[in-house]
Amino acid sequence: MGKLELLQTLTGHVGRVWSAAWHPTGTVFASCGEDKTVRVWAQSEAGDRWAAQTVLTDGQSRTIRDVAWSYCGQYLASASFDTTVAIWDRKSGEFECNATLEGHDNEVKSVTWSRSGSLLATCSRDKSVWIWEIHHAPDQEDEYECVAVLNGHTQDVKKVCWHPHDDLLASASYDNTIRLYRQDPADNEWEMLDPLESHTSTVWSIAFDATGRRLASCSEDHTVKLWQRYGPDNTLGIPCPAQSAVWKCVCTLAGYHTRSVYDLDWCKRTGLLATACGDDMVRVFRETSDSDPNEPTFELVAAVEAHTQDVNKVAWHPHTPGTLLTTSDDGEIKLWQYNETD
C-alpha cells in the first residue's frame, strides 16, 4: 500500500479549476478555470514551494476548460468555451497570445500537442475533432492550418490525447465511445479506426501509458477501463483486419469509485494510475506483481479525500516519481506526494 501526502494547496482562481498541465521540464505548470484566466505557477529556488508567476487574462472571453504545453516547452495552448483555442508563447520575454484558432461551432473542451510537435488536436461540444498542422518559419509568425475535421462521434467530445510516440490520436465522448485516428500513408488523409466500445455512459478522459501500448479510459459509469494494442504479429490469434493493429478492453476497474470518474493519468515513470472522481477523492492504482499482460490486474494502493468538491484533474509530474497535481470545483490546486508504506 501507499499514501498520498499533501505538499501544498494553491489558491488564486475564482470558481472551479478545470485543468492543469506540467511544463515538460517540471519546473512550471499552468492551470485554467471558470474565471477565464490561465495561471502559470513556478517553483521557488529552494524547490519546495510553488507560487503564481503569471496570470494570463486577455486571451479568451469565457471559461477556459483545458491547457496543454507543447513538448518543446515553447508554446502553451488553452481551450475555451468561447469556441477558440489560444496559443501563447514568450518569444518576447513575456507570455503573449500570438495565435487564436477559430472554427469550432461550440465550446472547445480539450487541446493536445503531438509528440512530433507538428500537430495540434482540439475537440468540442460540436461533436467534432480538429487536427491542425503547425508551420514554423524563422523570423515569421507561426501558422496553424486545419488539415482534418473528424466527425466520428455523435455527441459532445470531451477529451483528445496523442499517443506518446506516434501520430495516433484518441478521443473520448459523451456518446460512450473512444475513437482513434491516424494518417493514411497512401494519401495523407486522416482516417477513423473502429470505435472502442465498452463503457455504458460518457467517457470523460483517456490517457496512454509510457509505452503507448495501453490506453486507460474513465467514465460516468464509475469505471476505469484498460485497452491494449495488438498488432498483426500477436500470438493470441486476435484478428487484425487489413494487417492493422486493434485495441481490446483487457481490464475493468469497477467498485472503487462511487461517482463519475472525470480524469485519470498514467505516470510515465512508475506506471501508477491516478483517478479524479466526483466523490471528491483521488485514488492511485498499481498493476499487481503477478499480473497477466493480456488480462492485467490492478490494486488500489492509495485513496484520499483530496478536495471538498468534484476533482477535475490529476497530472503526474513528468520527472519526479510520485508527485501529483490535482484541481477541483472547490477552486483549489493541490500538490501531493505518493510514497510506498510498509
CB 157 within 8 A of CB 172: yes
- What CA–CA distances, in Å, run from 313 to 137, 167, 202? 35, 24, 16
- As a whole number of angstroms, the distance between CA 32 and CA 60 comes to 11
CA dihedral 310, 214, 131, 23 (to 10 degrees): 60
CATH of the domain at 260: 2.130.10.10
User: pLDDT tens-digit profile of 122-146?
Assistant: 999 999 999 999 998 777 788 999 9
**Cα separation of 179 and 149, whole Å?**
14
The residue type found at 161 is C
3-state helix, strand, coil in the chain (%, to 5): 0, 55, 45
- Output the pTM of the full model: 0.96
As given in the structure block, the three cell numbers for residue 92 are 518576447
Per the CB < 8 A criterion, the answer to whether 118 and 134 are in contact is: yes
Cα-Cα-Cα-Cα dihedral sign, residues 62, 66, 69, 70: negative
DSSP string for 273-304: EEEEETTSEEEEEEE-TT-BTTB--EEEEEEE
Q: Are 287 and 270 in contact (CB under 8 A)?
A: no
Residue with cell 518543446: 72
Q: Confidence class of residue 121 from pLDDT cuts 50, 70 and 90?
A: very high
| Domain carrying residue 220 | 3-339
**In this predicted model, what pLDDT tens digit does every residue of 164-202 receive, in sequence order?**
999 999 999 999 999 999 998 888 899 999 999 999 999
Q: What is the pLDDT of residue 246?
A: 94
Counted domains in the chain: 1
* Angstrom distances, CA of residue 67 to CA of 15, 46, 287: 17, 26, 29
